Amino acid sequence: MRKYTEKIHGARLLKMMEKDDPCACCPAAPYFDSYLNSYTMWCNPSASSACDICKEFVQLDLMYSQCPCDEFGKQEAIKRTWIALEEKGYLK
């Protein structure tokens, strides 16, 4: 199994943001389906789980257990995602 990384997260976020409702999706899950467990696709030993990488990407404290869309609300989560994608060079 491949390890989930920020680079993979950024690439999958770009594809996910093309969806009609990206906040109903999970970038790490199979087919971006929020109901499918991302752990079936990725091997991430240690604390760098797919959820931790996702939260760190949009500067969400890891102590929060919810997805960024749930913690920030849809508009703020999408705004933070686009800003992070741009700052990290994924929109080139």
Which tens digits make up the pLDDT trace of 73-82? 999 999 999 9
Give yes or no for a contact between 64 and 58, defined as CB atoms under 8 angstroms apart: no
pLDDT tens, residue by residue, 44-91? 665 568 888 999 999 998 887 788 999 999 999 999 999 999 999 999
pLDDT confidence band for 41 (50 / 70 / 90): confident
Nearest to 77 by CA among 52, 90, 58: 58
Total-model pTM: 0.88
Question: Using CA of residue 46, residue 86, residue 40, residue 23, what is the dihedral sign?
Answer: positive
Helical pair 74-87 and 6-16, crossing angle rounded to 10 deg: 130
Rounded-to-integer distance, Cα 60 and Cα 54, Å: 8
pLDDT at 86: 96
